[in-house]
Amino acid sequence: MRRVAIPPRANWRERTEQSGFRFHTIDGEPYWDESAYYAFTLRQIEQDIEAPTEELHAMALDLVGGIVASEERLRRLDIPEPFWDWIARSWQARDAHVVGRMDLAYDGSGPAKLYEFNYDTPTSLFEAAFFQWQWLDDQQRDGRLPVAADQFNSIYESLVEALATVAPQLPRPIRFAALRDAVEDQGTSDYLRDCALQAGIECAALAIEDIGLSADGRYTDLDDAVIGTLFKLYPLEDLFREPFGRHLPGSGLRLVEPPWKAVLSNKGILPLLWEAHEGHPNLLPAYFDDGADPLPAGWVRKPLHSREGANVRIALPDGRRLETAGPYTGPAIRQAFHPLPQFDGRHALVGSWVVGDRACGIGIREDASPITRDSARFLPHAIVEAATATLLA
């Protein structure tokens, strides 16, 4: 794994406009960054990322049944009691799931370490599945990457296949919804809707704010039609605590991602995984933050429900502390400190995508801070041999 400088495409901004990539720059700062790419070998991808991703995914799924059957564990995950049976029914019915992302610390050698799962509202999907693949194709055509270069990226094909597979289980049309003014979320939702259209599925777009509620507790669209299936890029744990969300268990609404994903998108899954698989090479020691200090040599504190690196507190082994602000409070976990690798002064995080139950691609986020925040940049990657990457840089 290497960070390799490469000239950006002269027309990359035109490419963003052509593809509807509206969030390539956020608050005046670049989000998409193609001034460099991350070079991997095929062995690194297959052995150190792809295989562990599928193993970690399977290990997490194995825990769901025991969690939804345990009042003690559901309380530990801070899931409100009115939703327990609904989540359990969703798991017992094996309600269809489509996509998730796990975040890994990996430096090109040694086992990748799991930081967390993003299994309810994963973003950075469009740029991972489509735009970095377009970058690869363009750079090969311009001779800056070898024709033999590849990318760990079958996300698009996997999404179309997965959506076509689960569609017969779901009432249609499927509405795809995100907050109206959340440009990145809207981009992710639009991309998934496009994949559904490619799979031949009847679907429609809807803003979260435009979802209504009928007198009998059914969720409706702007035409007062009952919504049978909703892909919502909106945190389920937020809905749990909003008056609008209390109708979920009795509404008959089918969600993608399904209710049982609330267990895996919760940071509390990390200590439960460690408890079940202590010493696993891809796991970091993790515990519920209950006042004890089982990690004196350095730890990271994360609220159970937090996103984009907000409200993270790090105790470094040398005694220094780092902390990010944010809106998240409530119960938390502590995970052993394991630093992200640095390349040219940037901290690189690997986002490994799972569609259905298959690992199918990665995206790289870079931050100047050890904590990957919402301002972190997205860089493309390629599978090339190290000598070739050096020659073409």
Query: Do 350 and 331 sit in the same domain of this protein?
Result: no
Q: Decide: 347 and 372 in contact? Cβ < 8 Å.
A: yes
- What is the extent of the structural domain holding 299? 284-336
152: Cβ contacts below 8 Å, ≥ 6 apart: 40, 45, 49, 50, 361, 362, 381, 383
Domain stops at, among 336, 351, 380: 336
Q: Does some domain include residue 274?
A: no
Query: Do 147 and 162 sit in the same domain of this protein?
Result: yes
Q: How far apart are CA 1 and CA 71, in angstroms?
A: 43
Query: Do 328 and 369 sit in the same domain of this protein?
Result: no
Query: Do 296 and 361 sit in the same domain of this protein?
Result: no
pLDDT digits (tens, 9 = 90+) for 86-143: 999 999 999 999 999 999 999 999 899 999 999 999 999 999 999 999 999 999 999 9
Q: Does some domain include residue 277?
A: no
The residue among 207, 185, 187 whose CA lies nearest residue 195 is 187
Query: Do 193 and 168 sit in the same domain of this protein?
Result: yes
Query: Do 42 and 18 sit in the same domain of this protein?
Result: yes
Q: Does some domain include residue 356?
A: yes
- pLDDT range class, residue 294, cuts 50, 70, 90: confident
Query: Do 306 and 179 sit in the same domain of this protein?
Result: no
Q: Does some domain include residue 69?
A: yes
Q: Does some domain include residue 273?
A: no
pLDDT digits (tens, 9 = 90+) for 148-159: 999 999 999 999
Query: Do 311 and 212 sit in the same domain of this protein?
Result: no
* Residue with token string 């469009």: 126
Sign of CA dihedral 58, 84, 168, 195: negative
- Which residues, listed in sequence order, are joined to residue 349 by a DSSP beta bridge? 365
Give residue 296's pLDDT.
Answer: 80
Residue 256 has pLDDT above 70, yes or no: yes
Query: Do 200 and 238 sit in the same domain of this protein?
Result: yes
Q: Does some domain include residue 385?
A: yes
Query: Do 206 and 324 sit in the same domain of this protein?
Result: no
Give residue 386's pLDDT.
Answer: 58
Query: Do 172 and 263 sit in the same domain of this protein?
Result: yes
Q: Does some domain include residue 275?
A: no
The reply to whether omega before 257 is within 30° of 0 (cis) is yes
